[in-house]
Structure 1
């Protein structure tokens, strides 16, 4: 039975996630611990008619050894051969699958300056490649499978490693709508149809701002730029082919005006960033910028994140996720943003998706900034949704409309 479920999952990623086209190159970014699933995706890709498959392996345990042992200045360099590899993927119009299954605390205790330098070097070197992904020039999909280290962080120590992995598999299959008796591709078609109705509802409102409140103390106003676009579920790439960028996905998202965020917001879940847990986050915004911040745990790491560059202290994404959704209802804290962001409404520090602005995918950075679209080397989601969250939208004529009540979308 497990082999059948894994093959269903691999086929779903290839057919619905990246929607591979005949003759197209398939690239799989995979941890070495996920080799079996990467090979299943490769097999499904060839069966669907891709021209070739390239697997870009990573080894987080070796990365930890390197961060511990190498000198700081080593991390200022991003190897040219890796730059050439990623740029060749872009030039060939590859479809990109990334398996995200890391130990959430693998870099705990690593010197933060080394992590910062590595992040900056990669961010600058791969700016064009990452822009191609965020502009949907390439079709891409991020998925996940259990690893022992990750599963052991999610579930209590009283469970054996095998039991923890088994429970995490069950949770992932549920989140991506895979079971023994149904066709997951058809299930995803129905799911993305619902999300399309949600995006149409929001786009038809032509909102100018959102106001969030919650029992945690959140009272935040987020201005939305003229021409903003709500997206969610399936997206359309530059080649006009539909794809799903995240599996699972429960979010409908857009971009805020980088200079139009005011008030206070409290995070409702921990943020895992570079191997550290940041919990109990409180942020105060003025004219779009974080002017005060605190965290019950990991405040120094939060400071580093916000100081990555000028855009890191501004927002680049606003996402609406019903509290009554499969991942939220599981009650599991996954310590993995791919899952946790789909359990709660969230915001993101840093870079915005240009595709969420009319004509944004054709604009350069300067033009995007002039429209209020944030730019940064980082894009980090943090969760703010609660079961009592209320969100009220304001239209151009000043009228109000309830968007969320008691943590969920109003009927539309």
Structure 2
């Protein structure tokens, strides 16, 4: 199968499954400047699917790096209101948003973390409504990926640049199942499998989840009337399905804000805002982070946790079997979209109101009272391995295996 045919199928999968464009919808694509042909393919297919407008927002990583290097400090305490208003308008009109991730995992490694943190806080304050629309599925959105030279060389350091990019494309096509004969039907089947797992977990309504692995001994309480999610999601405004992430191998839940106890150890590097955080551990008491260490990227980890009070608490726990396509590739992608789908993971920060019955119609105060966390950030980090066991604890205290040696126990 040729690269061109795979790229065409990838664009088709993006339009028909990831954002699942409906007639009359507008699509906003946040795209890297070095993939114009791929973006044009997506735009063409989106219009053919019935899109009314396709707006392209081009991003250049080098210009981002230049700004962080040379702009005055006050620039990072501001965020353009016009962009926030445009995104809010997209959400208000039930538009679709697509992010094509091609970031260099260490783009900002030489930048003062306080500048990055200030920019995140400024953006978070302006994008509250937008992010609420996304987390409550009031609009359609998805994240996919495409290689950049720097990212490809990080994953395949032994290859020359062109060969590394080609190898990363191949890895992306395999992880997204684009290399199969009918990727769209394959994703219909895959989403059905994930739906079956989340339905089984929803029936059990575990009170707590317990993790055990080298360096990890963690207990996480779940809120009452919780809802496991995973695979496809449903646009609450239009009633049609879409996939927020491609690839995805997870089922996930938002835990009770105050119910996490113990220590967890990372198993893969975390690329956070252009910096790598590696070999780190986090300790929780009564839900809150009380201690953390990192062999690499400690200052970035500190800046992330100190972003706001909500960043000290979990907003998500996700189950991913060790025997899955991305994990079986034996690659470290240095990209959260991919690495989180090779491993059980947790997320610090904002919870999902869709993960509790009636959550999307609750006020912020009601969500917090129900146990959901709120924060400017939502950052996934990987904790799973073939050595991890996970148990569910029922309301009567009985224990049931969920994972054994990194894979489903039921």
TM over 0.5: yes
2:114/2:303 contact within 8 Å kept: no
**1:364 Cα shift?**
2.0
- What is the aligned partner in structure 1 of residue 54 from structure 2? 53
- What is the aligned partner in structure 1 of residue 276 from structure 2? 277
Q: In the TM superposition, what are the counterparts of 1:3-14 in structure 2 within 5 Å?
A: 3-14=4-15
1:233 aligns with 2:224: no
**1:211 Cα shift?**
0.4
Q: Secondary structure at the match of 1:120?
A: helix
1:320 aligns with 2:319: yes
**1:97 Cα shift?**
1.1
Name the CA distance, whole Å, in 1 between partners of 2:98 and 2:315: 23
- What is the aligned partner in structure 1 of residue 144 from structure 2? 143
1:221 aligns with 2:219: yes
Q: In the TM superposition, what are the counterparts of 1:8-407 in structure 2 within 5 Å?
A: 8-156=9-157, 158-179=158-179, 182-214=181-213, 216-238=214-236, 239-407=238-406
Q: What CA deviation, in whole Å up to 9, does each residue of 1:312-350 have, x standing for no partner? A: 010000000000110001011101100000000000000
**1:263 Cα shift?**
0.8
Name the CA distance, whole Å, in 2 between partners of 1:281 and 1:229: 29
Unaligned segments of structure 1, at least 5 residues: none
1:72/1:113 contact within 8 Å kept: no
Name the CA distance, whole Å, in 2 between partners of 1:292 and 1:96: 36
Q: Secondary structure at the match of 1:66?
A: helix
Q: What CA deviation, in whole Å up to 9, does each residue of 1:18-43 have, x standing for no partner? A: 11111111111112122221111101
**1:272 Cα shift?**
1.2
Q: Secondary structure at the match of 2:67?
A: helix
Name the CA distance, whole Å, in 2 between partners of 1:125 and 1:36: 32
**1:80 Cα shift?**
2.2
**1:151 Cα shift?**
0.2
2:31/2:39 contact within 8 Å kept: yes
When the two structures are aligned, how many residues end up with a matched partner? 408
**1:91 Cα shift?**
2.1
Name the CA distance, whole Å, in 2 between partners of 1:153 and 1:40: 27
**1:264 Cα shift?**
1.1
The runs of at least 4 consecutive aligned structure 1 residues that moved more than 3 Å come to: none
Q: Secondary structure at the match of 1:152?
A: helix
User: Scaled by the length of structure 1, what TM-score is found?
Assistant: 0.97
**1:148 Cα shift?**
1.1
Name the CA distance, whole Å, in 1 between partners of 2:377 and 2:270: 14
Name the CA distance, whole Å, in 2 between partners of 1:84 and 1:127: 11
**1:166 Cα shift?**
0.7
Name the CA distance, whole Å, in 1 between partners of 2:387 and 2:105: 28
2:267/2:383 contact within 8 Å kept: yes
Name the CA distance, whole Å, in 2 between partners of 1:367 and 1:199: 25
Q: What CA deviation, in whole Å up to 9, does each residue of 1:370-408 have, x standing for no partner? A: 111000001100100010110010111222110000100
Name the CA distance, whole Å, in 2 between partners of 1:47 and 1:333: 36
Q: Secondary structure at the match of 1:45?
A: helix
Name the CA distance, whole Å, in 2 between partners of 1:222 and 1:402: 15
Q: What CA deviation, in whole Å up to 9, does each residue of 1:271-310 have, x standing for no partner? A: 1112221111111110001111111111121111110000
Q: What CA deviation, in whole Å up to 9, does each residue of 1:244-283 have, x standing for no partner? A: 1100000000011010000111111111112221111111
Name the CA distance, whole Å, in 1 between partners of 2:96 and 2:302: 35
Q: Secondary structure at the match of 1:280?
A: strand
2:113/2:299 contact within 8 Å kept: no
